[in-house]
Chains A and B, each alone.
Chain A
């Protein structure tokens, strides 16, 4: 009897938590496609707000996609070789490097952004360009790429694979490109999806680093929440959700795959 009661209590808490997480999202979606949210659903459904958002803010959406892809390219070029270095040359020194590279996520984005502005803000062309935002995003996402690739590298026993390749005469370069990279692909895929998802949603750094001409999607969202009517902000959020949720779903799938690979 008490066991049953306990079960129902736990279920009630679980459902309440779930409702807390889901109800606001449903409200937001409904508000984005309702003629007048204040009047309620009886005012009718419309795509008018979504179209208006597109007219007002489509530039921020394209810019965010561009920055996310550039950020992905940068973290692949910088992060995958760095992860390899950490995996192969394990020592106190490499643990120290790993610790250093993780600092930008241990310290609030606000601090990193202020530091960038204070040192490079005077360099006008750089400050006004989207590259300034890109730098912030690369700092913030690089640790996730390194960690994701490193985890798979540690699990697949690179050393034995490489020794086999080396004994067959493969050069360092050949081994990296044709033995290491294919074997750690699940880690690279999971890391890439993580980087794109984080970059698309990044706000803490971006709010400080952007200029009126380099607004990204989350900056535009904050802008619309502050100055536009509720329906418009909701429609904009809806567009963001349509972009970010598929990324999240594939990220979870890829992370599970990378973990199986690691296990």
Chain B
């Protein structure tokens, strides 16, 4: 055999251990999950329960609405902040950026706790509003708290992505547009935003998929918020309804995977959820 082909075969063989572990501990368990999902009283129909059963459908709809809302607000805030931080140099800028990237290392549980400190029963917002308006604002233990928590989780990640792609923009394009008489708004709409589109699509999809599947923040705030991950968790642990938990989590997995795959084919970059 010629040495190049032999080297290629040897190199490929080095992927075998990783693939073996992956097959034994992910593919096989997932196959089992798919099978359990269809083993309930409704059989295969359990996979459609998320649309046919009013409760599960509400849960799905509110999770999608929450995740889409979080993605839009995160993108808007991160675009303003990211473009500003990349385009302006001022004293304290580096400190500001380091402070903003600090939350990258916080898991969802910790974010949930921070939301409680901010808008919970003993939180800062409640304290301030009690003093100012004599009325205590408590938002932590429901959808609003979850929304705030997912914003907290997503903003640092998206800001970094936006800043990285603003850095790669060619300033000559903007100068050309401006010298041709374009207003600042037109430059933003016709030059900057189109150039940032891949970054916007990919970070928006990651933000959406992460919010769809996240569990830690919701778990810390309240286990009764009607989002799909908590519905699955409650089916599994409180009602021991394994088949429904299995089919719902497969459906959820397909949604997050499809969101990321669609974004990747649109944006062309490596896209994956984390946390």
- Interfacial residues, chain A to chain B (CB-CB below 8 A): 3, 6-7, 10-11, 13-14, 17-18, 20-25, 27-28, 31, 37-38, 77-79, 81-82, 84-86, 88-89, 94, 97, 100-112, 114-116, 118-120, 135, 138-139, 142-144, 146-147, 162, 166, 172, 197-198, 201-204, 207, 218, 221-222, 225-226, 230, 233-234, 237, 240, 244-245, 247-248, 252
Provide the residues of chain B in CB contact with A78, threshold 8 Å. Answer: 17-18, 21
Chain B nearest CB from A263 CB (Å) reads: 12
Q: Nearest residue in A to B123 (C-beta to C-beta)?
A: A27
Contact between chains at A225 and B109 (CB < 8 Å): yes
Contact between chains at B85 and A14 (CB < 8 Å): yes
Query: Given the interface contacts A21-B152, A203-B108, does A11 sit within 8 Å of B84 by beta carbon?
Result: yes
Contact between chains at B100 and A204 (CB < 8 Å): no
A114: contacting residue among B109, B245, B260, CB under 8 A: B245
Query: Given the interface contacts A13-B80, A106-B257, does A248 sit within 8 Å of B102 by beta carbon?
Result: yes
Complex: A25 Cα to B29 Cα, angstroms: 38
Contact between chains at A111 and B33 (CB < 8 Å): yes
Complex: A224 Cα to B65 Cα, angstroms: 31
Q: Nearest residue in A to B116 (C-beta to C-beta)?
A: A225
Q: Nearest residue in B to A99 (C-beta to C-beta)?
A: B261
A119: contacting residue among B29, B101, B216, B272, CB under 8 A: B29
Provide the residues of chain A in CB contact with B193, threshold 8 Å. Answer: none
Contact between chains at A21 and B11 (CB < 8 Å): no
Q: Does B220 contact A (CB under 8 A)?
A: yes
Contact between chains at B104 and A110 (CB < 8 Å): no
Q: Could you name 10 residue pairs across A and B whose Cβ atoms are closer than 8 Å?
A: A14-B81, A17-B81, A22-B100, A24-B118, A78-B18, A89-B12, A106-B260, A111-B250, A207-B219, A244-B106
Provide the residues of chain B in CB contact with A17, threshold 8 Å. Answer: 77-78, 81, 100, 155, 159
Complex: A7 Cα to B96 Cα, angstroms: 17
- Interface members, chain B 13-29 (any A CB < 8 Å): 13-15, 17-19, 21-22, 25-29
The 5 A-B residue pairs whose C-beta atoms are closest, nearest first, are: A108-B213, A115-B29, A85-B15, A81-B14, A24-B114
Contact between chains at B216 and A114 (CB < 8 Å): no
Provide the residues of chain B in CB contact with A38, threshold 8 Å. Answer: 122
Chain B nearest CB from A225 CB (Å) reads: 5
A147: contacting residue among B27, B214, B242, B270, CB under 8 A: B270
Query: Given the interface contacts A10-B80, A203-B108, A222-B216, does A103 sit within 8 Å of B26 by beta carbon?
Result: yes
Complex: A107 Cα to B274 Cα, angstroms: 10
Interface size on B, residues (CB 8 A): 88
Complex: A28 Cα to B124 Cα, angstroms: 11
- Interfacial residues, chain B to chain A (CB-CB below 8 A): 3, 7-15, 17-19, 21-22, 25-30, 32-33, 36, 77-78, 80-81, 83-85, 88, 96, 99-110, 112-118, 122, 124, 151-152, 155-156, 159, 184, 209, 212-216, 219-220, 229, 232-233, 236, 242, 245-246, 249-250, 252-253, 256-257, 260-261, 270, 272-275
Query: Given the interface contacts A111-B249, A116-B29, A118-B36, does A21 sit within 8 Å of B113 by beta carbon?
Result: no
Complex: A197 Cα to B27 Cα, angstroms: 25
Query: Given the interface contacts A24-B115, A103-B257, does A109 sit within 8 Å of B15 by beta carbon?
Result: no
Most B Cβ at <10 Å: residue of A79, A101, A202: A101
Main secondary structure, interface of A, reads: helix
Known pairs A13-B81, A25-B114, A204-B214; list 8 more (Cβ under 8 Å).
A10-B83, A20-B151, A78-B17, A106-B209, A115-B33, A142-B21, A198-B274, A244-B106
Complex: A213 Cα to B81 Cα, angstroms: 44
Provide the residues of chain B in CB contact with A197, threshold 8 Å. Answer: 105
Q: Nearest residue in B to A136 (C-beta to C-beta)?
A: B25
Query: Given the interface contacts A97-B19, A105-B272, does A225 sit within 8 Å of B77 by beta carbon?
Result: no
Chain B nearest CB from A176 CB (Å) reads: 8
Chain A nearest CB from B270 CB (Å) reads: 7
Chain B nearest CB from A206 CB (Å) reads: 9
Contact between chains at A86 and B15 (CB < 8 Å): yes
Complex: A100 Cα to B113 Cα, angstroms: 34
Provide the residues of chain B in CB contact with A10, threshold 8 Å. Answer: 80-81, 83-84, 88
Q: Nearest residue in A to B19 (C-beta to C-beta)?
A: A97
Contact between chains at A21 and B102 (CB < 8 Å): yes
Complex: A221 Cα to B253 Cα, angstroms: 26
Provide the residues of chain A in CB contact with B270, threshold 8 Å. Answer: 147
B216: contacting residue among A18, A139, A218, CB under 8 A: A218
Complex: A118 Cα to B30 Cα, angstroms: 9
Contact between chains at B272 and A102 (CB < 8 Å): yes
Query: Given the interface contacts A10-B80, A109-B215, A222-B220, does A89 sit within 8 Å of B11 by beta carbon?
Result: yes
Provide the residues of chain B in CB contact with A14, threshold 8 Å. Answer: 80-81, 84-85, 96
Provide the residues of chain A in CB contact with B15, threshold 8 Å. Answer: 81-82, 85-86, 94, 97
Contact between chains at B18 and A82 (CB < 8 Å): yes
